[in-house]
Amino acid sequence: MARHYTMSIEPDLFRGSALVCRWCRIGTRGQERIHLSANNGQAISRFLFLTRRKRAHGYKPLSYS
């Protein structure tokens, strides 16, 4: 099964940070979840936690080479 998962940290309207997660199976309509954080440090911590969890479930970083 081909899967796609992206995460990005973006500023929100209230001077905090938002971790935006998007995922789908290739060829299907995707989903999105936004995790709001009070600051960039919290968003980075959540990003690293989710990255470790996704890698444990078989996700691999995208290679451009």
Sketch the domain layout of the chain as residue ranges. Answer: 3-56
To which H or E segment does residue 53 belong?
A: helix 40-56
* Tokens coding 6: 């992206």
Residue with tokens 């919290």: 42
CA distances from 40 to 15, 32, 45 (A): 9, 20, 9
Provide the greatest CA pair distance for the chain: 39
Give per-residue pLDDT as tens, 5-64: 899 999 998 889 999 999 998 888 999 999 999 999 999 999 999 999 999 988 888 776
Q: Residues 3, 26: contact at Cβ < 8 Å? A: yes
